Amino acid sequence: MAENQDRGRVKTTETAFRIVELLMERDGMRLSELARELGVAKSTAHRHLSTLLDLEYVTENNGVYRTGLRFLEIGEQTRTRTDAYRLAEEKVADLAAETEERSQFIVEEHGQGVYLFRETGDRAVHTDSEIGKRIPIHATAAGKAILANLSDERIEEIIDQRGLPALTEHTTTDEEALWTELAEIRDRGYSTNDQENTSGLRAIGVPVRYEDGEPLGALSVSGPTHRFQKTLFNETLPNLLLGTANELELNIQYS
Amino acid sequence: MAENQDRGRVKTTETAFRIVELLMERDGMRLSELARELGVAKSTAHRHLSTLLDLEYVTENNGVYRTGLRFLEIGEQTRTRTDAYRLAEEKVADLAAETEERSQFIVEEHGQGVYLFRETGDRAVHTDSEIGKRIPIHATAAGKAILANLSDERIEEIIDQRGLPALTEHTTTDEEALWTELAEIRDRGYSTNDQENTSGLRAIGVPVRYEDGEPLGALSVSGPTHRFQKTLFNETLPNLLLGTANELELNIQYS
DNA sequence: TTAAATGTTCCGGAAAGTCGAACGACTTGC
DNA sequence: GCAAGTCGTTCGACTTTCCGGAACATTTAA
């Protein structure tokens, strides 16, 4: 059982990355701890760890193995691969400075939202970076802005693959409701998020598109519910974001 | 032949990561291109790519495979694992703002220097991030500052493992000369770099140590030769850096 | 000092990854 | 508009190589 989709996959690679992920979650582990956790012989764990150490994807200190910075190298390379992403970084900084709130740029990958850049204005607290973190795409303003600009088939695909899990009691979990919301977003040009992934937090999101209409990501600004109200929430921020996204699209087009 | 150190290493993991590295270098590849490059059957490449795709470490678009943002997630987690690193980030920003030059924080991993944070002051050009990039540790100011605070055995080990490759004509490639320079650095408290990795660029570096004297990394400020001279290079910047490193060490101690 | 972990090495057996062939779907060029 | 070439995908047989267990060395605890 449970060999449904496993046809022709490389099991050794799966365990290698399972090890990496465990090391990340646990913030470092010892050899036998890892072997126990994985349910493999110590000798097996040893062989895998030695390999990852040799390849320099893992470090070892006093018998404790941790993920290495080579992941940062590959990740950073991936993030700054296209000029578009680098240009987005500037806009995120501008938005944070101008609004004094937190702003971020998110892209879609494997049906999820991934934080590429985040900047916190003076007013916002400087939290953990969260860069690279994944989040259900339907539960963020930026994510919905992206979703609204994908083809219906792709949207279906993502919903099928990821479902619509609830992060708070305000998360949209009904597919029908999501579709109508996406239509509104397309009309209006921007998306909103009212405590759908974190209670007490609201956000506005706008898509960033290539010339052909394909979304490459989305910008968003988020802040506490008590500040995000009325004109600010309904006009000022949406207009600021739409203008910024437009500038960004032009920058990308002529880069 | 060439099986000297390969005893007991997982070959499949090696090829999996060789694929990832190729995808990174080439900025994306097609299946058969990759198979050709690796010297394996198309079916083998296919199986590996499907696996990496399923695990979400790789993305695919119109038949082009690229590295995925999961590497960013793991890398970012690795970078911000300890409070110490996060605190270093602030100091890097302070230094860039104050000097208006480029400042960076570097750590040692597998005998190499790795850029963890970089900030460019208003005066410096905003280049590619280079975060996560590796560099021979003896060819940077920050690297030498770290090296000078390691045990003699560890220094030997690193030199044996990595050698002393020349990046410019000014790089220190003589082991004897390096040892005497490291002694000077220990005396003086800070290190310098005069066009040893990039011609036209000078830098000053200072170690950042835990209470027990173990270096966790080093701060440095770099700029063009024509600006980095006289009092600025010999007094002002060294003192600024030493003060900043000291603050940082205290912050780390009480965090 | 004993006892109980942990890390390391080695070997046989079995699971797995590799290759090549063969197919359909697209391109390219004549 | 057809043929030759390329690309991605699937399948089965061979054999590489990966896994587990045991035995030894090493450290930590009692």
Q: What is the pLDDT of residue B92?
A: 95
Residues B125 and B31 in one domain: no
Element (H, E) at B239: helix B237-253
* Residue A107 predicted with pLDDT over 90: yes
pLDDT at A83 over 60: yes
pLDDT tier, B255 (very low <50, low <70, confident <90, very high otherwise) = confident
pLDDT tens digit sequence for B164-182: 999 999 999 999 999 999 9
Does residue A3 form part of some domain? no
B59 with A110: Cβ contact below 8 A? yes
One domain, residues A33 and A89:
no
Q: Amino acid identity of A185?
A: I
Q: Which two tokens stand for residue A47?
A: 């062989």
| pLDDT tens-digit series, residues A233-252 | 999 999 999 999 999 999 99
Q: Of A12, A72, A79, which has the smallest distance from its Cβ to B12's Cβ?
A: A12
Domain final position from B26, B55, B73: B73
Structure-block tokens of residue A107: 């892209």
Helix and strand counts by DSSP (H, E) for chain B: 10, 9
Residue A4 predicted with pLDDT over 50: no
Any idea which nucleotide's C1' is nearest the CA of A29? Answer: C6
Statement: the CB of B17 is under 7 Å from strand D:
no
Token digits for A188? 């209006």
Residue-level pLDDT at A3? 37
Give chain B's radius of gyration (CA, Å).
21
| Residues of B with Cβ-Cβ distance to A94 under 8 angstroms | none
More confident residue, A81 or A146: A146
Summarize the confidence of residues A35-63 as an average pLDDT: 96
| Protein-proximal positions, strand D, CB < 7 A | 6-12, 17-23
In a domain, B2, yes or no: no
Instruction: Please calculate the CA angle B248-B128-B147 and round it to the nearest 5 degrees.
Output: 40
Q: Let me know whether A167 and A128 are in one domain.
A: yes
Upper half-sphere CA count for residue B199 (Cβ side, 13 Å): 5
Q: Taking a C-beta distance cutoff of 8 angstroms, is the pair A67, A25 a contact?
A: no
In terms of DSSP H, where are the helices of A137-236?
141-147, 152-162, 175-188, 230-231
pLDDT bracket for residue A255 (50, 70, 90): confident
Pairing assessment for the beta strands B64-67 and B102-109 based on DSSP bridges: unpaired
State whether A133 and A217 are in the same domain: yes
Residue B69 to residue B77: CA distance in whole angstroms: 13
Residue B114 CA to residue A109 CA, distance in Å, equals 27
Listed residues B24, B55, B73: the one ending a domain: B73
Question: Among A197, A76, A59, which Cα is nearest to A132's?
Answer: A76
- Map residue A40 onto helix, strand or coil: coil
Q: Which of residues 4-23 of B touch A (CB under 8 A)?
A: 5, 8-10, 12-14, 16-17, 20-21
Nearest CA in chain A to B15: A13
Domain end position, chosen among B73, B93, B123: B73
CB A14 within 8 A of CB B57: no
Q: Do A74 and B56 touch (CB under 8 A)?
A: no
Query: Is residue B120 domain-shared with residue B154, that is, in the same domain?
Result: yes
Is the pLDDT reported for residue B1 higher than 50?
A: no
Residue B7 pLDDT level (bands cut at 50, 70, 90): low
Q: Residue B218 domain-assigned? A: yes
Alpha carbons A252 and A249: distance in angstroms, whole number: 5
Q: Are residues A88 and A148 in the same domain?
A: yes
Does A43 lie in the same domain as A98?
no
Residue A185 lies in a domain: yes
The answer, yes or no, to whether residue B154 has pLDDT greater than 50, is yes
B93 close to B109: Cβ distance less than 8 angstroms: no
SS3 A151: coil
Contacts of B111 (CB under 8 A, 6+ apart): B137, B157, B158, B161, B162
Residue among B13, B133, B134 whose CB faces A12 most closely: B13
Q: pLDDT digit string (tens) for A156-173?
A: 999 999 999 999 999 999
CA B182 – CA B202 distance, rounded (Å): 17
Looking at the domain assignment, is residue B111 inside a domain? Answer: yes
The rounded distance, in Å, linking the Cα atoms of B165 and A15 is 36
Q: Are residues A102 and A47 in the same domain?
A: no
The residue of B7, B29, B44, B71 whose CB has the most chain A CBs within 10 angstroms, and thus the best one to mutate to test that interface, is B71
Q: Is A56 on the interface with B (CB under 8 A)?
A: yes
Give yes or no for CB of B32 within 7 Å of strand D: yes
Which of A78, A85, A150 should one mutate to test binding to chain B, selecting the residue with the greatest count of B CBs within 10 A? A78
Q: pLDDT digits over B13-71, tens only?
A: 999 999 999 999 999 999 999 999 999 999 999 999 999 999 999 999 999 999 999 99
Distance CA A228, CA A234 (A): 9
Whether the predicted pLDDT of A189 surpasses 60: yes
Instruction: Look up the domain containing B47 and give its range.
Output: 11-73
Rounded CA separation B82/A66 (Å)? 12
Q: Is A2 inside any structural domain?
A: no
| The total number of residues written for chain B in this structure | 255
pLDDT greater than 50 at residue B3: no
Contact A69, B76 (CB under 8 A): no
Report the share of chain B in percent with pLDDT over 90: 89
Cβ of residue A9 lies below 7 Å from strand D = no
Residues A95 and A215 in one domain: yes
Cβ atoms within 10 Å, residue B247: 14
Q: Does residue B6 have a pLDDT over 90?
A: no
Q: State the DSSP string of A172-237.
A: ---HHHHHHHHHHHHHHS-EEEESSSSTTEEEEEEEEE-TTS-EEEEEEEEEETTTS-HHIIIIIH
* Same domain, yes or no: B190 and B233: yes
How far off is chain B from A85, nearest CA to CA, in Å?
A: 12
Strands B64-67 and B58-61: antiparallel
- At a CB cut-off of 8 Å and minimum separation 6, what does A160 contact? none
What's chain A's average pLDDT? 93
| Same domain, yes or no: B22 and B126 | no
Tell me how far the alpha carbon of residue B199 is from its chain's centroid: 19
CATH code assigned at B148: 3.30.450.40
Number of domains within chain B:
2
Check CB contact under 8 Å for B109 and A78: no
CA of A34 to C1' of D13 (A): 36
CATH number, position A46: 1.10.10.10
Contacts of B112 (CB under 8 A, 6+ apart): B134, B135, B136, B137, B162
Same domain for B160 and B201: yes
B122 contacts B93 by C-beta, under 8 angstroms: no
With cut-offs at 50, 70 and 90, classify the pLDDT of residue A2: very low
Decide if A149 is inside a domain: yes
Q: Is the pLDDT of residue A27 over 70?
A: yes
Helix H, strand E, coil C: the string for A101-121 is CEEEEEEEECCEEEEEEEEEC
Sign of CA dihedral B25, B31, B37, B43: positive
d(CA A194, CA A156) in angstroms, rounded, equals 23
Q: Residue B122: what pLDDT?
A: 74
- Domain membership of residue A187 (yes or no) is yes
Cα(B162)–Cα(B255) distance, integer angstroms: 34
How many CA atoms lie within 13 Å of A41's alpha carbon, on the beta-carbon side? 3
Q: Give chain A positions within 8 Å (CB) of B96.
A: none
